[in-house]
Structure 1
Amino acid sequence: MNILLITVRADFGGGPRHVHQLIEELPSDFNIYVAFPQGKPYGNLWQEHPKIKKCINIPYRKFSIKYLFLLRRFIIENNISILHSHGNGAGLYSRILKIIVPQIKVVHTFHGITNNYSSYFISCIHKIIGRSLRYLTNKFILVSNGEFELGKSMRFLFTDKSVIIYNAIADEGLKFNRYDNKLVIISLSRFDFAKNMDMAYRIAKALRNNHEIEFVWVGDGEDFVRLKQKSVEEHVNINFIGFTEYPMSYLKNADLYLSTSRFEGLPYALIEAASVGLPIVATDVVGNNEVVLHDYNGLVFKTEQEAVDAIKKLSINADLLNRYSINSRELYLKTFTMEKMISSIVDTYVQVLNQ
């Protein structure tokens, strides 16, 4: 079976990471081809990856008629049977390719659906495109129940052609036991609009007089420098780590995970947090609320004050923190293992090919 994975991103993010997992973990009887932009980290990794039969470079987050027809030729020359697109930009390529190469089977994974647009005009354009492209899709993969419900309400998919397959990560063991008195609260994040690190900053600022609480932020992005400078000026206790290729070591040395995302598909960072046994405090949004079950392995919140109160509550209740920790690990093992995800995706490919 020849499968072409397509993504218009190869930088850090859930979509590219998911593509990398498929490249690494799909069984050897699948011939893997990949269309992707150049760049760090994944573009460089994929260029010479031993499991990739052949690759083609396409523009970063940009649609091009020229590359549409280069992809068409690539599909025909390599006898591709399934085109699996990841994210909105890749989904535009895959569904238009369905028109000009009608025999191709198209599987599309959204990796996050939003109804939070910057203007009414952009909202209308996105909805028109999304509702039109659904007719050119053989199978929709949703990474959470919430994403499925949102996609259904926005008419971006057909329910009888949809399957929910949770994101997953490999098991890297439990967090370390720490014996000092500090509560270390970690966030792994891009510093951008979607991740809403301004809210995380305001939560940290509200707790700055509690010297037993330390915030650790791992990641980079457009808001990183501004927020770091602001924390210095206002004496907010945040340790800005910046980008790292191995954030797991920071997760394992933390006590609690904080997410302030405005929207998600199904966030890898929260799955990682659950896998090492971290309790989680997170915004009550699509995706988050399927990794954080309220009062089971953490607490979800709608307002900044609710988040502040949740952290205060956990900072003085070691038994509750420990119960949430145990439950996080159990939820990961039950729901978010790599074996479960890969098995479901293989089943989906076989089903689509036999339609």
Structure 2
Amino acid sequence: MNTQRVALFMPSMRGGGAERVMLNLTYGLVERDVRVDLVLAQKDGTYLSRLPESVRVVDLRAKRVLTSIPALRRYLVQERPPTLLAAVAHTNLAALAARRLAQVPTRIVIGIHNTFSVASQGAAMKRSRALPYVARWLYPYADGIVAVSHGVADDLAQTVRLDRNRIEVVYNPVVTPELYQQAGEPFSHPWFNDEAVPVLLGVGRLSAQKNFPLLIRAVAKVREQRPVRLVILGEGDDRAALEALVHDLGLSDDVALPGFVDNPFAYMRHAQLFVLSSDWEGLPTVLIEALACGCPVVSTDCPSGPMEILDGGTYGMLVPMRDEDALAKAILASLDEPVRGELLQQRINEFTLDYATEQYTKVLHI
């Protein structure tokens, strides 16, 4: 029996792509009899209730990730986990700083889920603009570095001035048996009962990164040629602005923002088309999930991930970023001639939980 231990460090378990990836990874590790500590800056989030029973949740009781460093240092001194995997930019920095303060032999493996250069320059993320400079100081001390796509790895190496050979690429553990089970569950939304009008789907945090205004404006253009409806699942600071845009474009009866839902996969299974309109990503989990659910996809060719996932357009159309005309044309073309479901299923093997967990066990020395 495997008696290895590992700690996973996250800000919280609120709904999001990185959180869902960590949730899936806990299942993959537990199935291999690995003892898992889930260390959270703040014990909060909808995914907490879905963790495996054997996962031990450690609450650092901090308001922010960077203010959790003293508590994380205490955890490392007291528990001395052989390896700690941090999953997002601020947890990476906090973990490396805490290990230096704790003076313990714990291996720190850092994970990069977004295109570092773009994410650190976002107007809505002013605190993040110092990240490249701090990362250049701390990241070389990491014992392992994992990027979720080759594009993310290349960008990180250039932005933080790291040797590219130090960065390993492990695709996210996205496709799980639970995904297929949830995709088959019933859900209630009247638009999906009307086969005469196609339903488009967007999923993600309502934030500048996801550029849902682009999608909404593209839908307005599509509706000039044929009826469609749009459902955007997710919550975030941009809700009011998105609702105002929907109203201004006269789309209030045809665009819905139901908020965050626990099971987006049932929606993906029944939507006619999934659309990713982001300005930047790392490896967009929702794109892989849509493919697994058999939903045709259209995506902006943003840095980075969509190009890799869709293999240059083989498994779904790619369009230039921030081009509503191109996005509208791709939506129309994909509705007319969707990619076959059998072809979509061929793409997802590298994104299965079993494959990704196997790669992580090597990086984590389990």
Distance 1:230 1:339, change over 3 A: same
Separation (CA, whole Å) in 1 of partners of 2:63 and 2:319:
35
Unaligned runs of 5+ in 2: 185-191
Give a deviation string over 1:179-225, Cα, whole Å, max 9, x none. Answer: 93433211112110111111111111212334432222111212223
Q: Is the 8 A contact 1:14 1:111 kept in 2?
A: no
**Of the candidates 328, 336, 340, which is equivalent to residue 308 of structure 1?**
328
Q: Is the 8 A contact 1:208 1:235 kept in 2?
A: no
Distance 1:190 1:280, change over 3 A: same
**CA offset at residue 328 of structure 1?**
1.7
Q: Is the 8 A contact 2:273 2:335 kept in 1?
A: no
Q: Is the 8 A contact 2:270 2:295 kept in 1?
A: no
**CA offset at residue 295 of structure 1?**
3.6
- Mapped pair 1:34 → 2:38: yes
Where do residues 9-48 of structure 1 align in structure 2 (5 Å cutoff)? Answer: 9-26=12-29, 27-36=31-40, 37-43=42-48
Q: Please state whether the residue corresponding to 1:216 is helix, strand or coil.
A: strand
Q: Tell which deviates more after alignment, 97-106 or 259-268.
A: 97-106
The aligned residue for residue 148 of structure 2 is: 143
Identical residues among aligned pairs (%):
19
**CA offset at residue 45 of structure 1?**
5.4
Q: Is the 8 A contact 1:95 1:137 kept in 2?
A: yes
Give a deviation string over 1:20-56, Cα, whole Å, max 9, x none. Answer: 122222045322112111222135656xx52224513
The aligned residue for residue 247 of structure 2 is: 232
Separation (CA, whole Å) in 1 of partners of 2:35 and 2:132:
34
Q: Is the 8 A contact 1:106 1:139 kept in 2?
A: yes
Distance 1:311 1:198, change over 3 A: same
The aligned residue for residue 9 of structure 2 is: 6
- Mapped pair 1:218 → 2:233: yes
Q: Please state whether the residue corresponding to 2:275 is helix, strand or coil.
A: strand
Q: Please state whether the residue corresponding to 1:263 is helix, strand or coil.
A: coil
Q: Is the 8 A contact 2:65 2:94 kept in 1?
A: no
Q: Please state whether the residue corresponding to 1:103 is helix, strand or coil.
A: coil
- State the one-letter code of the partner of 1:30: V
Separation (CA, whole Å) in 2 of partners of 1:225 and 1:193:
13
- State the one-letter code of the partner of 1:113: T
Question: TM-score scaled to structure 2, two decimals?
Answer: 0.85
RMSD: 2.6
Q: Please state whether the residue corresponding to 1:35 is helix, strand or coil.
A: strand
- State the one-letter code of the partner of 2:351: F
**Of the candidates 266, 269, 272, which is equivalent to residue 255 of structure 1?**
272
- State the one-letter code of the partner of 1:277: G
Q: Is the 8 A contact 1:130 1:156 kept in 2?
A: no
Q: Is the 8 A contact 1:114 1:263 kept in 2?
A: no
Q: Please state whether the residue corresponding to 1:200 is helix, strand or coil.
A: helix
Question: TM-score scaled to structure 1, two decimals?
Answer: 0.88
- Mapped pair 1:69 → 2:70: yes
Q: Please state whether the residue corresponding to 2:331 is helix, strand or coil.
A: helix
Q: Please state whether the residue corresponding to 1:12 is helix, strand or coil.
A: coil
